[in-house]
Amino acid sequence: MLVELKARFDEDSNIGWARMLEHEGVHVTYGLMGLKTHCKVLLVVRQEGDEIRRYVHLGTGNYNHATARAYEDLGMFTCDPEIGADATDLFNYLTGYSAQKDYRRLIVAPVNMRERLDGLLRREIAHARAGTRARLVLKMNALVDRRIIHLLYEASQQGVQVDLIVRGVCSLRPGVAGLSENIRVTSVVGRFLEHSRIYYFRNGGDEEIYAGSADLMTRNIDRRVEVLFPVTSPPLRRYLRDDVLGVYLADNASGRDMQPGGGYARLRPAEGEEPVQVQRRLLESRGGVWRR
């Protein structure tokens, strides 16, 4: 088991868990020197008959009972062989048994995330230049990385429709003439702390969606161990596109739109329009009960 001791607000708790696990005979490691481990990955390897099978959970949120009740997050459980192999390589990398430089399906910081994100954004720009409808919907906690921001400005200038759902700090300015007319920035404030990261690329109709632990911050991309995982199942992709991201963009009751000057304007339903609160919709769609 890998335990990150520099987990904000959880240092004492994690040290206690690590000591208890070691006392019970569990082999505990603490990650790579100089790199905070921020990814959320669980790997179970089982012998099933004559075969070894790997089950992987990948998430956007912490394995923490307190934040699980207060944060909005998502996760994926899979036995995809390539993701299982990638997860194995990732844990070998984290425990120092491998100098892994590439992955089959996962995007891993600081190994290949900068290069892959750059390529995904430039691909969408290329689609726009070729006259193909291009679209980006990126949901995160913070957007401050300069190289990513410059690529998003370039995407807007080339005609890519860009929707950014950013909970906190956003160093990009939307709606600036000649720079970012095609960019909208929305922030949602609700009962739960927004925490999931979801990245949608239209890719000329061959859509790709990634989710994971990484915000678009230089520290996350270059100085932490982070994972973004692909959602390849067509029903799950449609769910994330339409029933999650689509509802975030339709929120007219708990959302706020960033203005070109950096301020925010609270969204309110138009007269006769039904209020849409994304967190309430998502909770009730899973049988939960909304409390004010």
Select the more confidently predicted residue: 34 or 192. 192
In 173-233, alpha helices (H): 218-222
Q: Which domains does the chain have, with CATH numbers?
A: 11-100 (3.30.870.10), 113-285 (3.30.870.10)
pLDDT recorded at residue 98: 67
pLDDT recorded at residue 7: 58
Taking Cα atoms as reference points, which of 238, 241, 45 lies closest to residue 139? 241
Q: Do 153 and 180 form a contact (C-beta atoms < 8 A)?
A: yes
pLDDT recorded at residue 24: 62
Distance separating alpha carbons of residues 49 and 38, to the nearest angstrom: 34
Per residue, what are the HEC states of 107-121? EEECCCHHHHHHHHH
pLDDT recorded at residue 36: 86
pLDDT recorded at residue 66: 86
Q: Does 127 qualify as catalytic in the annotation?
A: no
pLDDT mean across residues, the chain: 92
Q: What angle do CA 201, 108, 217 make, to 5 degrees?
A: 70
- Phi and psi at residue 285, in whole multiples of 5°? -70, -20
Catalytic residue among 23, 27, 38, 150: 38
In the chain, alpha helices (H): 11-23, 67-70, 81-94, 113-129, 146-157, 218-222, 234-238, 246-250, 278-285
Taking Cα atoms as reference points, which of 7, 57, 44 lies closest to residue 212? 57
The DSSP symbol for 240 reads I
pLDDT digits (tens, 9 = 90+) for 173-224: 999 999 999 999 999 999 999 999 999 999 999 999 999 999 999 999 999 9
Q: Do 212 and 229 form a contact (C-beta atoms < 8 A)?
A: yes
pLDDT digits (tens, 9 = 90+) for 90-149: 998 888 766 778 899 999 999 999 999 999 999 999 999 999 999 999 999 999 999 999
- pLDDT confidence band for 11 (50 / 70 / 90): low
pTM of the predicted structure, to 2 decimals: 0.91
